[in-house]
């Protein structure tokens, strides 16, 4: 963070720690987590901090619903998401497995996928059978 000219403030540390702890979290979930440690932080600070951390590559976001983005740590493995539209189950798929499925199509179109933002919506096996 310092290399990019930004200070590592206590609020930024709290937000980053919350994202890492929660693994996949919306801004509201991050806010609820950081409020347990600091009542002085407000929701707009959380949103601005999430955007900055995302810009700096310390966290990533994906759209796991039609609402707010979901943030996760960039230090873990890069992965895509499979989301059940019915029960909202989230399955993380490794970059390698997603690439096996998508790379032939990407090559055909001269495209480079951003697997960390890839989200596929559908029905899980349990909901499909119901």
Choosing among 2.60.40.1180, 1.10.10.10, 3.40.720.10, 2.70.70.10, the CATH entry for 2-73 is 1.10.10.10
Spans of all domains in the chain: 2-73, 79-129
Hey, what CATH class is 79-129 in? alpha beta
**pLDDT given at position 51:** 95
**pLDDT given at position 106:** 95
**pLDDT given at position 90:** 86
- Rounded to whole angstroms, the Cα distance separating 125 from 11 reads 41
**pLDDT given at position 116:** 76
- Rounded to whole angstroms, the Cα distance separating 49 from 14 reads 10
Regions of the chain where pLDDT drops below 50? none
Structure tokens at 105: 């199509």
Question: 5-29 pLDDT, tens per residue?
Answer: 788 888 999 999 999 999 889 999 9
**pLDDT given at position 34:** 95
- Rounded to whole angstroms, the Cα distance separating 25 from 32 reads 10
**pLDDT given at position 111:** 95
- What is the signed CA dihedral for 109, 115, 121, 122, rounded to 10 degrees? 80
Residue 90 contacts by C-beta under 8 Å, 6 or more apart in sequence? 24, 64, 81, 82, 83
């Amino acid at each position: 963070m310092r290399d990019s000219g930004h200070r590592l403030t206590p609020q930024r540390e709290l937000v980053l720690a919350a994202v890492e702890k929660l693994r996949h979290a919306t801004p509201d979930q991050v806010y609820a987590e950081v409020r347990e440690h600091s009542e002085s932080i407000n929701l707009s600070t959380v949103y601005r901090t999430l955007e900055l951390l995302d810009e700096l590559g310390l966290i990533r976001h994906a759209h796991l619903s039609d609402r707010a983005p979901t943030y996760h740590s960039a230090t873990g493995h890069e992965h895509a998401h499979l989301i059940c539209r019915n029960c909202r189950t989230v399955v993380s798929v490794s970059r390698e497995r997603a690439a096996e499925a998508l790379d032939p199509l990407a090559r055909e179109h001269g495209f480079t996928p951003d697997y960390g933002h890839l989200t596929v919506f559908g029905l899980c096996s349990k909901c499909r059978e119901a």
